[in-house]
Structure 1
Amino acid sequence: MQDCSQAKPSTGDFERAAHAALQHFGLRDVTLELAGFVENVVYKVTSAGSSFVLRLHRPGYHTLAELESEQAWTAALNEAGLAAPRPVASRAGDRYVLVDVAGSSPRYAGLSVWRPGQTMGDLMDQEANPTLVARRFAELGELAAAVHNQAVNWEPPPSFERHALDADGLVGEKPWWGRFWEARALSATDRARLANLRESLRACLPGYSQSGEAYSLIHSDLHPGNVLLHEGQLSIIDFDDAGYGWHAYELAVALYRYLDEPVLAGYRDALLEGYARRRQLPPDCVSQMSVFWIARTLQTIGWINDRPELDKDSNVPALVERADRLAGDIGFA
């Protein structure tokens, strides 16, 4: 993955870039509302009674071809009846436009239709009854299965390019979220421990099936915070990390935030029950999910290390402890 270090332009710098981008899409007299400021700078755009999402993409994270491929897939998901970001082309017919940002590298800007709703994660946080939360996970499982059904039956265009979260993408020499075993916040002991875990994963993951029953395009960040509920309809947002990967990885990510919950097993069962209503579970799903929880933890360390501007190094020791505990739980490494 490319070096994504970046300067810190002001809010005004980003707003000026946003207005410049919107002119390419024929939108003027707009109202901007900042909706996200972590990976990408995201605005809710209101114009003439319609609402849109404008994303100013992090420099170096994706090529133009990869960004265009993301929109090609979300458009195909919509055509298949799944609510995902619906892209809007520029006046010139382009999916993205390149805009200058003072104090930073130019950024690709993409526009899609705004989808209203409350995140499933917020709804779960507001719900005190674990049984009702489990029902949400069953809905999420059905949604994941529907995404995978579309993915395995869809033929991407010849120009389609997205990364792979296979063994190399997770624990190879250039993992998608960075070389976690070299993170600056690690002690020498922690580096050695993560290097051992990495080698164990490198030995294990190549044996996992990459047939259509287990592997395809996946969202790869399909947790409850990236699913909206509005008037009974679920919609998926934030395909920034979508790529090729294992279906069991997708399901593991859905539960990752809840690993320390005492009712985790019940949530997992509900998620898998929902998935099985729409699609056969991947082979060895439960055991593979446990391995992917370790991989996700290591990925998160790499993600933090590649983004020093977020100042999250203090989270790394707890993540190392989590990786150790998860590995111990399954007698791994």
Structure 2
Amino acid sequence: MYTSTLLARLEERLSASLGEWHLPTDTHIELLTTSENATFLTRCPRTGRRHVLRVHRPDYHSREEIESELAWTAALRADGRITTPAPLPTTGQSPVVTFDLDGQRFHAVAFEHLPGDAPTMNETLPDWFEKLGALTATLHDHSRRWAPPAGFVRKRWHLESMIGPEALWGDWRRAPGLSPADERAIEQAVEQIHRAIDTYEARAGRYGLIHADLRLANLLVEGRELAVIDFDDCGFCWYAFDFAAAISFFELDPLIPTLREAWIRGYRRVGDFDAEDVAALDTFIMIRRIMLSAWLATHADSQAAQALEEDFIAGTATLARAYLSTARDAARA
């Protein structure tokens, strides 16, 4: 949906709204990226200070959902164990600025800009994944202890909303380049996912408020510190799903077993992660990959989708066949 015309109009509207975030009217705005949302970088010409403006895609999150996201990040910042950017206050009571443009309603939020870069796929990544495991366990510990305020509302990630025909990210069956054979393999994987989750969720304490999108693009490395950004997909889901989100788009990389071990090691330094949680990781990785395949079907014009290889859906089917093989081996054992 983010045509060059719409992006120019959004930039125009944000420029007119700078005062609502107490930002100077001569602040420079430039597009940073488009994915689910359109994100802009601002810079004050006099001080050089930078901020990030996030414009939400219409009809995905309500204003109350966005305010709830920011309530959790504020609580995490107050807890002092997680580094994540602070939202900027506005001239109103809410940190969310709402405006209408060309017949559509948009919600926008401004954040402080944190230094750092996303981790990269190289020999240092296992060390960062051990840190990420500990950070994720810290997030989960906070989630379990925190009492959300009245009116708190975030999406619930369950199998129907993740990989069902009416899933929030779309129907994976409409993914570009899906062959009949690959569709059968993924369908069989979906059936196995349902069986696995029916068994896994029988015990309480495995489902709660999570980040749900801790992929490399949403992490910032500065020195030896690791920060988390973009809680836009945070919601109620299985805690172990956060590992699957962390390896988004490179689930078939040979480094994954090493990253998994490092993440589990880091997690266990802070919280419990038992053998059943470990065994469930393959199921959550499969769920996430199917979700990403569905996302491609509905976001084909986004920068993120266009950067992916053309055979992404074939890779999803390859992962599905490996997942089914592992499940059969486990059943025989």
- Counterpart of 2:58 in structure 1 is 59
3-state DSSP of counterpart to 1:244:
strand
Between the aligned partners of 1:203 and 1:85, the Cα distance in structure 2 is: 39
Task: Answer whether contact 2:249 2:289 (CA < 8 A) is retained.
Answer: no
> After the TM superposition, which residues 36-51 of structure 1 pair with which residues of structure 2 at under 5 Å, given as runs?
36-47=33-44, 49=47, 50-51=49-50
Q: Distance in 1 between matches of 2:128 and 2:150?
A: 37
Q: Greater shift after overlay, 241-250 or 20-29? A: 20-29
> Are the aligned partners of 2:200 and 2:276 in contact in 1 as well (CA < 8 Å)?
no
Tell me if the contact between 1:117 and 1:230 (Cα under 8 Å) persists in the aligned partners: yes
Q: Which residue of 1 aligns with 2:264?
A: 272
221, 228, 231: which is aligned to 1:229? Answer: 221
Contact 2:210 2:239 in 1 (8 A): yes
TM score, norm. by length of structure 1: 0.87
TM-score, normalised with respect to structure 2:
0.87
Which residue number corresponds to residue 128 of structure 2? 136
Structure 2: gaps (5+ residues): none
Which ranges in structure 1 are unaligned for 5 or more consecutive residues?
1-5
Q: Residues 42 and 53 of structure 1 are in contact (CA less than 8 Å); yes or no, is this contact kept in structure 2?
A: yes
Q: Which amino acid aligns with 1:13?
A: R
Give the number of aligned pairs. Answer: 320
State the identity as a percent: 27
Letter in 1 for 2:323: L
**Structure 2 residue aligned with 1:8, among 3, 17, 20?**
3
Structure 1 distance, partners of 2:111, 2:2, is 26
- Counterparts in 2 of 1:172 and 1:145: CA distance versus 1, 3 Å: same
Alignment partners' CA distance in 1, 2:221 and 2:154: 27
Q: Distance in 2 between matches of 1:100 and 1:195?
A: 41
**Counterpart for residue 187 of structure 2:** 195
The answer for the alignment partner of 1:286 in structure 2 is 278
Counterparts of 2:56 and 2:259, CA distance in 1: 33
Give the ranges of 4+ consecutive aligned residues of structure 1 lying more than 6 Å apart after TM superposition: none
Q: Does 1:26 align with 2:22?
A: yes
1:113 counterpart residue number: 112
For residues 154 and 198 of structure 2, the distance between their equivalents in structure 1, rounded to whole angstroms, comes to 20
Task: After superposing the two structures, state which structure 1 stretch, 68-77 or 275-284, moved more.
Answer: 275-284
Alpha-carbon offset, residue 83 of structure 1? 1.2
Contact kept, 8 Å, 1:142 with 1:274, in 2: the verdict is: yes
Alignment-mate amino acid for residue 275 of structure 1: Y
State the superposition RMSD in angstroms: 2.5
Q: Does 1:150 align with 2:150?
A: no
Following TM superposition, by how much is the alpha carbon of 1:301 offset from its aligned partner in structure 2, in angstroms? 1.2
Deviation at 1:210, TM superposition (A): 7.4
The amino acid across from 2:89 in the alignment is A
Asked if 2 retains the 8 angstrom alpha-carbon contact of 1:178 and 1:302, the reply is yes
In the alignment, residue 71 of structure 1 is paired with which amino acid? L
